[in-house]
Structures are given as C-alpha cells and as structure tokens.
Amino acid sequence: MILDIAVDLDYEMPEPTDLILQIEAAFLPDQQVWNPGISMNATEHFNRIEGEDGIGERIMLRTTGNYSCSYRARVEINRTEQAIEPLEFVPIHQLPSDAVRYLMPSRYCPSDQMQSFVAAEFGDSMGGERIAAMRDWINTRYQYVPGSSGPQTTAIDTFIQRQGVCRDFAHVLIALARASAIPARFVSVYAPYVDPQDFHAVVEVYLGGSWHLIDATGMARANQIVRIGVGQDAAEVPFLSSFGPAFLQTQTVNVNVVG
C-alpha cells in the first residue's frame, strides 16, 4: 500500500517556549518514505535527536509567537498482515533487552492493577491467542467517542468508562498485555481509514521473537500503518510536547491511499 501524508500545524506561543516535535514517518525496513519534506517558520533553535528505541526522530525546537509547520511524505508499506493467534508467548527470561522495559507499568498503563482481571477473563489462553481475545474484547465493549477523554486519562479510567479515543484503546490493550507478561508498547502512526482523520495510536506486542502491530479500534490493519515513533505510553511519543504555554490555532492530518 502507498499512502500520501499531509500534516499542517499552527500554534501560538506567547513567550519563548521549548517544543519537541515527532510527526515524521520513521525510516524502517517495512516502510519506505519517499520525498519527505517538513517546513516551518523561523525558530530560535532546531535540532534532531533519535526517537525511542531508535525508531523515528524527534525535532527539538525553541520558538516564540506563531509557530506553523507542514509535513508531506509518500510512504510505501512493505509489510504483510500476519494472524496474531498462532504467535507464541516468549518466556520473560528469554526476552531481548529492548523488550523488557515494556513489561513494566507506566504512567498511563498501570498494568499491575489489572492482573486479577486478566487472570479471570483471559486465563484460558496464552500468547497471540490471548492478545487476539483482548483486542476483540476491547473492540466489542468500548465506544470510540472523540472528546471523551483528556491528557490525564489512564487505562484504568478508560477500563471503567468503556469509551475513549485511539490512545485510550491502546493504553487498555497495553495494560492488559503487560499484566499477562507480554511486552507491549505504544505506537504513534498514520493510517488511511481513521475517522475522523488525525494522528493515530496502536500497539506493538512482542510475540514469537518479534514485534507485531495491533489496533484495538479496528480502524487500521498492520499492512495499512505508517509508524512514527514508539514508547511505553502516550507520554513518550506525543506528536508535540510543549514546555510552556502553547495555544492551538489549527491542525489538520490527511492520509490518503495512492491509486
């Protein structure tokens, strides 16, 4: 699948403000990025650093007043969709070092509080079969409701409210997976069939010796997803972090299938 990505951001900073921006498609073996371009008005500082786990890049900025940014890219996804159910659980003592941190509770994913529920609800399954059951459980019991959650909403809050947006669905699946001793990480992505169009959030789980993409909302399949960055939860991979007052003026994200 080939996708055209177009993002436009416009913010107002009333005082000098540091920003961390991560909106560019990552250069990875399973997604080829063609003709990427990012443009923005003048800033006091601009620097690039590596993203979490070496996936994608963060742009470090300092600016005052109006900040506008445009990003354009064409991405070819060279990733086949693989059934999750047959994938095997990897014992903790056999996990690679980069997967171990994704077993741990995090700010938005207090997985240690969900172990009893996981054992009662999903205790008769393991590995990929359990992840598929969790994905389907979330997808059938939760409502996708824009505006129903906020920056402080955790997986526990969403678990109780049974509604949220993509990041909330992802946080619940991550917490359930980690409560099952399956490494799971948050992935910021682009996908063409997200409604309404916006930055999207999915999950990667470590099974069968590698990472596998899962979307608990059901809006994106693994072979339709363009990865931007990864982290323990949304706190580590926001598209924009502001260390000072920043007021949104406009924001548009468009992801279209080519051909």
For the stretch 178-208, pLDDT in tens is: 999 999 999 999 999 999 999 999 999 999 9
- What are the residues whose beta carbons fall under 8 Å from the beta carbon of 246, sequence distance 6 or more? 11, 12, 13, 17, 19, 67, 240
SS3 state of residue 90? coil
Residue among 238, 231, 129 nearest 180 (CA): 129
Indicate whether 42 pLDDT > 90. Answer: no
147, pLDDT greater than 90: no
Find where tokens 């056999």 sit: 94
Q: What is the mean pLDDT of residues 71-94?
A: 95
State how far the Cα of 131 lies from the Cα of 126, in Å rounded to an integer: 8
The answer to whether 77 and 1 have CB atoms below 8 angstroms apart is yes
Average pLDDT over residues 60-69: 95
- Beta strand 184-190 with 226-231: parallel, antiparallel or unpaired? antiparallel
Average pLDDT over residues 222-230: 97
Selection from 211, 215, 234, 47 nearest residue 154 by Cα:
234
Q: Could you tell me the pLDDT band of residue 259, with boundaries at 50, 70 and 90? A: low
Inter-residue contact 252 to 7 (CB < 8 Å): yes
In this structure, are residues 167 and 145 in contact, taking their beta carbons and an 8 Å threshold? Answer: no
Cα separation, 166 vs 221, in Å, equals 14
3-state secondary structure of 216: coil
What is the reported pTM? 0.95
H-helix or E-strand containing 186? strand 184-190
Count of helix runs (H) and strand runs (E) in the chain:
5, 12
Q: For residue 49, what is the enclosing H or E element?
A: strand 45-50
Nearest to 214 by CA among 145, 135, 158: 135
